[in-house]
Chains A and B, each alone.
Chain A
Amino acid sequence: MTWAAPAVDGLIDHLFRHQAGQMVAMLTRIFGAEHLPLAEEVVQESLLSALTLWSFHGVPENPGGWLFRVARNKALDQLRRQASLKEKEPQIAAALRFAAVDDDEPHFAHELRDDTLQMMLMCCHPAIPEESRIALTLKTVGGFSVEEIARAFLTQKSTIAQRLVRAKRLIREQGIVMEIPPREELPSRLESLLKVLYLMFNEGYSAHEGDALVRGDLCTEAIRLCTLLVEHPATVSPSAHALLALMLLQSARLRARVDAAGELAILAEQDRSLWDGPAILRGMRELDASAAGERLTPYHVEAALAACHAVAPSFEETDWPRIVSLYDDLLAMQPSPVVALNRAVAVAMVQGPAAGIEAIESMAAADSLRDYPLLSSTLGELFLRDGDREKAAEHFARALELPSTMPEKRFLLRKLESCR
């Protein structure tokens, strides 16, 4: 498959995760959406078989195909045993026999992509509560475990498990089917799916505490799934292009966010040579493609913002006036204190730190950000640039009192020291 590099030891990175997602989607299509839990069980059993067999015997020639074959055989076993499948037995048996198992076959790759798309769209059905949609998408399409999802979202495992159970019960009770929704439902379903992918990406991208590895995987997964959307004629849209552009341009900066010593590097300090050039190029192409429609979505504006940074030769030479005006657009679409804060930073770059401080202090919603460490650290930074070390130190100290990660704390301490 195209998204993973072959590993030195013959096992492609994330093979199990990706294969699990595809196999669950394929089996759910064949069994029927109400049997999603059975599809998951078959897939988990197949992975467990691979675990012991490959550990003792070695990894087979075509690991992906092997997993598909085993899953198909286990599905046929279940078909014989499960009374609830009796009615549809002949159709299911035929579908299983016809299901190709060699993922090198282009025809099969096509089928798998369609299954995955339909599965994603099902996870975003309006009957499923919004908070369950991401978890369900990550679990079924992404092949993440309950524990991994809980770790990524800093939530209890039991909370995620409950959301999943509830979502699957709704699928069964409401007779939700796996399909590309009818024309009249498609736009709203796609919008909800884009939101799920956006949140998935942000969860991975934002520097909260939590498992760094899993969080990076959330970004990669959101990009992979959004790529599927823009590549399919039924699901492609200007806003899907815009979201993909946004995610690519943001993720291009990921590896520069930590410096050589493992410390947090903010945008102004990042070594721009570490930015991922090919991802930026791809992102810019997606941004071009997103300009096709009539509608300007927040994804478009956020992607344009990310593009401004991505093409700027340095922090100082960034097109700050354009950034201020893009933030104005974004604020008009979705007023949010965080967006207003970012706008204030851009204002400071155009008109000087004092203007930035004024913009923050005049923010109507500044109060709701009182416990937001970025507000205090931004004010600290602006006062420092304005030459008011005392005030700057006050704000950095305030930011240090609020919850943040260890690298963030060390960053703030460094800043606090530079005020002395």
Chain B
Amino acid sequence: MAQYVLLLRDNGSFPTDMSGEEMQAIIRRYKAWSDGLRAEGRFKGGEKLKDREGRLMRRGSSGVSVTDGPFAEAKEIIGGFFVIEAASYEDAVKRANDCPHLDFGTIEVREIDQI
């Protein structure tokens, strides 16, 4: 079955004055969602990327330039990703539909191109 990457953007939009109970409730929602896929053997993993750091590399006329990024330029930062198995884009979107991340940011669904 094909694998899809769900790119999770905008995770910086969690309100910072949330109570411990509220945070715990959000973690539980994410976990319930991934556990559902895991039970079907369709959850392949997930990772969070580090906040506020990264490098953007580009080859120019004078060689490769490296800048801190992409935070200065992009508004929608990728905060993390999930990898799931799905039969089609339609199926992948259906499975991402109840992912709690949609309450806090956007999800970009991309199929991994397998040879």
Contacts and interface: CB of A to CB of B under 8 A. Distances in A.
Contacts of B26: 51, 55
Contacts, number: 90
A267 interface: no
Nearest to A14: B21
B31 interface: yes
Interface residues of A, number: 28
Contacts of B101: 55
A10 B23 CA distance: 15
A145 B14 contact: no
B21 A16 contact: yes
B24 A11 contact: yes
A54 B24 CA distance: 10
A143 B16 CA distance: 15
Contacts of B14: 48, 51-52
Given A9-B32, A52-B79, A56-B79, A20 B20 contact: yes
B48 A16 contact: no
A148 interface: yes
A17 B20 contact: yes
Contacts of B23: 16, 47-48, 50-51
Nearest to A147: B19
A376 B91 CA distance: 62
B21 A48 contact: no
The range of chain B's interface size is: 20 to 34
B21 A50 contact: no
B48 A57 contact: yes
B11 A17 contact: no
Nearest to A45: B16
Interface in A1-41: 9-11, 14-17, 19-20
B3 interface: no
B5 to A, nearest CB: 13
A51 B34 CA distance: 15
Interface in B1-32: 8, 11, 14, 16-24, 26-28, 30-32
B20 A16 contact: yes
Contacts of A51: 14, 18, 23, 26-27
Contacts of A48: 14, 16, 18, 23
A17 B21 contact: yes
Contact of B24 (A15, A44, A146, A147): A15
Contact of A56 (B16, B21, B80): B80
B16 A50 contact: no
B28 A11 contact: yes
Interface in B53-99: 79-82
A45 to B, nearest CB: 9
A275 B21 CA distance: 27
A147 B34 CA distance: 30
Nearest to A145: B19
A55 B21 contact: no
Given A143-B20, A148-B21, A56 B28 contact: no
A360 to B, nearest CB: 42
B100 to A, nearest CB: 8
B108 interface: no
A27 to B, nearest CB: 15
A56 B30 contact: yes
Interface string A200-224: 0000000000000000000000000
Nearest to B11: A52
Contact of B20 (A10, A54, A57, A145): A145
Contact of B31 (A9, A17, A53, A148): A9
A264 B34 CA distance: 39
B47 interface: yes
Contacts of B16: 44, 48
A51 B11 CA distance: 10
Given A44-B16, A47-B23, A56 B46 contact: yes
7 contacts: A9-B28, A9-B31, A48-B16, A52-B51, A53-B48, A57-B48, A145-B19
| 8 shortest interchain CB distances as A-B pairs | A16-B20, A145-B19, A56-B80, A55-B30, A56-B48, A17-B20, A51-B23, A16-B24
